Amino acid sequence: MTDSKPQIVDNFGRPHTYLRISLTDRCNLRCFYCMPEEGIELMEKSNIMTIEEIIDLATTFRDLGVDTIRLTGGEPLVRKNFGFLIEELAKLGVTLKLTTNGIVLDKYLDLFQKIGLKKINISLDTLDKAKSIFITKRDYFQRILQNLETALEMDMEVKLNIVLIKGVNDNEINDFIELTRYKNLTIKFIEFMPFKGNKWDWDKGVSKNEILDTISNGFGIIEELKNPKHSTSSNFKVLNHVGSFAIVSTITSPFCDDCNRIRVTADGKMKNCLFANSETDLLTPLRNRDAMDDLIINAIKTKKHSRDGMDVKMEAEHYEQNRSMISIGG
């Protein structure tokens, strides 16, 4: 862990110590809530950060006080030379985390064990193969399940990410919770969020309160767990279950007060918030070998308090100007 003091502090006094880097906008799935039906216009390869540029940028952020880096995408594990990248990032002394759809996770688990990467979020929205094909438009369900089991056997700290959508997978809430009875994993339910072209409609969303009601009706007593600092979820467990569950309630109960997150897209744009429409180009100065520190420190000063200013409700004229989730990196 680095000892450098956080220097990326916004106008609300929030130190930003957690960086999410999207490695690519490419993906081997086509989840309908993540990208428009017609697909996205892919980034020009020449505009995507090289592996060396990602390492340089991560080092700059580390020196400004970032102590945690999560790799995401698109699908981060389809990025060429991912193994080399993660080994280099492990040398920075930060906590590394990964969000993946799990399809090719088996290729990297030994390496993760070697470098000490333990925290892995795997996206799996359903326990039903046919439904998985409907959601992702691809057939990788068995492979993801197998890789999830292997990761658990190797004592990885696994969270399962589930975007709940009414009429699609809301009837599986308690099937997921059942997994926590004997398995040491966290089930993380995520409220459906709006991004460009994903046909968001909160009538299709499932709220934190609805999720809690469903679980307490099914299992009885739910214990509320202490939320770690900067947690973006409320955390719980069913009494006597081994695993736990969490709810990311971005829509019905945002958790922005304590936000410490910065995002960088695969084409090197810094986003202060998942919902931020304005971006700061870091790739051009990086390629020009210009000094970066002041640029980053000043960029965070434009951060709004919550949801990029959509404090009260999500506004289509705002979020339709954003990128699709697949090219932000959730």
> Contact residues for ligand SAM (CB under 6 A)?
27, 33-34, 72-73, 75, 99-101, 123, 161, 163, 190, 192-193, 195, 198, 325-326, 330
Q: Is 208 helix (H, G, I), strand (E, B) or coil?
A: helix
Partner in contact with 30, chosen from ligand SF4, ligand SAM, none, beta carbon below 5 to 8 Å by kind: ligand SF4
Distances, alpha carbon 41 to alpha carbons 26, 217, 225, 262, in Å: 10, 44, 42, 24
Under rule CB under 6 A, how many of the chain's residues touch ligand SF4? Answer: 12
What does the block give as tokens for 226?
A: 């202490």
Residues in region 47-86 near ligand SF4 by CB under 6 A: 73-75
Nearest alpha-carbon partner for 49 in 283, 264, 323: 283
Regarding 102 and contact with ligand SF4 (CB under 6 A), the answer is: no
Select the binding partner of residue 219 from ligand SAM, ligand SF4, none (C-beta < 5 to 8 A, by kind): none
Q: What is the DSSP string of 271-316?
A: ESSTT----EE-HHHHHTT---HHHHHHHGGG--SSGGG--SS--H
Residue 60 to residue 320: CA distance in whole angstroms: 31
For residues 71 and 98, the answer to whether their CB atoms sit within 8 Å is yes
Site string for ligand SF4, 268-307 (x = CB under 6 A): ----------------------------------------
Q: Does 27 bind ligand SF4 (CB under 6 A)?
A: yes
Whole-number minimum distance, CB 29 to ligand SF4, in Å?
A: 4
- Of the residues 8, 9, 23, 35, which one makes contact with ligand SF4 according to CB under 6 A: 35
Out of 29, 57, 92, 105, point to the residue binding ligand SF4 (CB under 6 A).
29
